[in-house]
Structure 1
Amino acid sequence: MLIIVCFVILYIALLGIFLTIKLNSTGKPKIIVHEDERYYLDPVTEERLPFPPLMSDKEKEIPSKSEKYLSVIIPAYNEELRLPSMLDEALDYLERRSNETINQSSKVDSKVKDVGTSDVTWSCPKGEKFTYEIIIVDDGSRDKTTQIALQYSRKYGTDKVRVLTATKNRGKGGAVRLGVLSARGKLILFADADGATKFGDIEKLENYLYQSTDNEVDLINSIAIGSRAHLERQAMASRSIFRTILMLGFHFVVWFFTVRSVKDTQCGFKMFGRNIARILFNYMHVEKWAFDVELLYLAERINCNIGETAVNWTEIDGSKIVPVFSWLQMGKDVLSICMMYTIGAWTFPVIKDKDIKEKTF
């Protein structure tokens, strides 16, 4: 009898906690962008210029249309040492793509679709139509990350390289969201500042997007993500048993409670169509390391087109992840994601016809 009473008391207590959490939650996150985070600096003229209100953190503000083909978002926290080599590789690649002639060919596949009696090639733009921008988001660094990034703005111009300096450290997810909210691209890639993934592998992500869609609307509502799953055995061989157990445990927690269709949720190399990015990042609550899990969890729930493709990845010294603490923090965040959506404290995106069918590019 005593055991039954204890279970009843526990049930009532948990119910009360869940109801309190749900009643005190707004469902959709309140995104706070400070005034200084709405501007970037032109190091040549020393003017502060406004970012476009891309995805719009204001509910009634009309999202801006894309002005570029590709936006690259690079979250950076105390990355003055690793950032230059990553930017050098990325800009070398992007400049080469933008100067490509029609007869030159990148490795991005194309396909032909029938439109009436004519054939139309559905493929990514080349040469002068391949326009891009890089947004480096300094996530409250204490070193010279912003100053290093501004050197690239001075060299390439602020139409191609912009620096967003956060007023405080938000976490990787928060930094990525700031960059996404300020992006001009039809496709939006976020890539880690360490350059661990070969930058040219964006062609693999583009290949998936163009091979799995045949029109612009589907393209801007699709996601392609880089994966290191094919390197897992090699990684396990070089790690301690304890770290291997933590890694496998985290993967199981992610699979069991949230994301089922993606093997590697944490690879920092993901490409979003503009419209699906607008939807997902406006509903994302988690701003730390596990933000990828929430984004993909939401994408699965709204039946988004998601593709995972193997990329070339090399571990780079200087990781900000603390082996034990960070894995435990991410595990806690994954459990929070599951619980908060299950009890209705956080709400899933409601996809209306205009969200999918309107062209926002």
Structure 2
Amino acid sequence: MSQYDLTIVFPVYNEARRIDLHKERVNELSFKHSVQIVYVNDGSVDGCFEMMKQDLSADHVKFVENPRNLGKGGAVRTGIEASDGSYVLFTDFDVPVAPEVFEGIFKQIYGKEQTVIIGVRKKTNEVKKSESRIRKYLSWGFQSFLKWVIGIKVTDSQCGFKIFDNKSGKEIFSRMKTNGFAFDVEMLLLAQRLGVKVEEYPVVILEDCGPSTINIFVDPFKMVIEILKIRWRLIFAKV
């Protein structure tokens, strides 16, 4: 029997400037179930992990480190491997969703096996108005590419808010090779191959999480190339 009902994994890379925001939002979380938090240092060089160990240490908190910067996918994989909860959720360090979303997605998965639930970003009217037309077209094109070329039929593959039963999470991530931002796609492809059910849960991203680090003119094309490599590799992989 697992020691915790839920493990939350936070990848950490040079987050010194956002530690106060993180602490504020984590303190707002309230669960009826036992929760473990796993922080994964992915090669930070700004001293943030040492500060976190001083400020955030507790019995339910685990600190693990990658030997070097692997990328978000590598950090999430390390965190899931270290998780002790019956269910494991990963999200971004800035805690980009409201507290009730954590409880809601956990309520949807609780009692289920062979299941992953992925967050689907619902945009507020303010965000829709400020979003550029090119970003909208790129998002539509990327999801269409995943659906018709790769065979992943989900609304939002890239939302950084996903939860698994622990067994399925570890089975999926132990087979993964991708460390970069395309890891979500490999994760969903492996879930399909392993017969893990994929469900969705609507989430509203908080508006003060800081600017995106994605270059909309370069990164989508890099991801397409990486995804094609993933698809080709999995055609011949034995799962």
TM over 0.5: yes
**Cross-structure match for 2:159:** 267
**Cross-structure match for 2:145:** 253
1:78 deviation in Å? 1.4
1:314–1:283 distance in 2 versus 1, CA, 3 Å: same
Question: Can you list the C-alpha shifts for 1:248-299, whole angstroms capped at 9, x where unaligned?
Answer: 2222222223353310111111111011011101111111001111111111
**Cross-structure match for 1:312:** 204
Which of 131, 138, 148 is residue 41 of structure 2 equivalent to? Answer: 138
**Contact 2:176/2:186 (8 A) holds in 1:** yes
The code of the aligned residue for 2:123 comes to L
1:66–1:178 distance in 2 versus 1, CA, 3 Å: same
1:232 deviation in Å? 8.7
Q: Return the index of the structure with the highest Cα Rg.
A: 1
**Contact 2:146/2:153 (8 A) holds in 1:** no
Whether 1:338 and 2:231 are equivalent positions in the alignment is yes
**Cross-structure match for 2:114:** 221
Structure 2 residue matching 1:193: 3-state secondary structure: coil
Structure-1 separation of matches of 2:159 and 2:221:
18
1:265-304 aligned within 5 A: 265-304=157-196
The code of the aligned residue for 1:174 comes to G
**Cross-structure match for 1:176:** 76
**Cross-structure match for 2:103:** 203
**Cross-structure match for 2:24:** 88
Structure-2 separation of matches of 1:336 and 1:87:
38
Structure-1 separation of matches of 2:168 and 2:22:
26
Structure 2 residue matching 1:288: 3-state secondary structure: coil
Structure-2 separation of matches of 1:221 and 1:139:
28
1:234 deviation in Å? 6.5
**Contact 1:221/1:274 (8 A) holds in 2:** no
**Contact 2:41/2:64 (8 A) holds in 1:** yes
The code of the aligned residue for 1:137 comes to V
The code of the aligned residue for 2:8 comes to V
The alignment yields a C-alpha RMSD, in angstroms, of 2.2
Structure-1 separation of matches of 2:24 and 2:127:
27
1:328 deviation in Å? 1.9
Structure-1 separation of matches of 2:167 and 2:152:
23
Structure 2 residue matching 1:74: 3-state secondary structure: strand
Whether 1:324 and 2:227 are equivalent positions in the alignment is no
**Contact 2:117/2:199 (8 A) holds in 1:** yes
The number of residue pairs the alignment matches comes to 238
**Cross-structure match for 1:213:** none
Structure 1 residue matching 2:218: 3-state secondary structure: helix
Output the TM-score relative to the length of structure 2: 0.89
Query: What 5-or-longer segments of structure 1 have no aligned partner?
Result: 1-64, 98-125, 211-215, 350-361
**Contact 1:259/1:300 (8 A) holds in 2:** no
1:336–1:72 distance in 2 versus 1, CA, 3 Å: same
Structure-2 separation of matches of 1:143 and 1:323:
26
**Contact 2:114/2:195 (8 A) holds in 1:** no
Structure-2 separation of matches of 1:253 and 1:233:
26
1:164–1:335 distance in 2 versus 1, CA, 3 Å: same
**Contact 2:152/2:188 (8 A) holds in 1:** no
Structure-2 separation of matches of 1:176 and 1:252:
26
**Contact 1:186/1:274 (8 A) holds in 2:** yes
1:181 deviation in Å? 0.7
1:137 deviation in Å? 1.0
**Contact 1:186/1:220 (8 A) holds in 2:** no
**Contact 2:120/2:203 (8 A) holds in 1:** yes
1:319–1:194 distance in 2 versus 1, CA, 3 Å: farther
Structure-1 separation of matches of 2:124 and 2:28:
30
Question: Can you list the C-alpha shifts for 1:37-63, whole angstroms capped at 9, x where unaligned?
Answer: xxxxxxxxxxxxxxxxxxxxxxxxxxx
**Contact 1:257/1:335 (8 A) holds in 2:** no
Structure-2 separation of matches of 1:331 and 1:273:
29
The code of the aligned residue for 2:48 comes to T
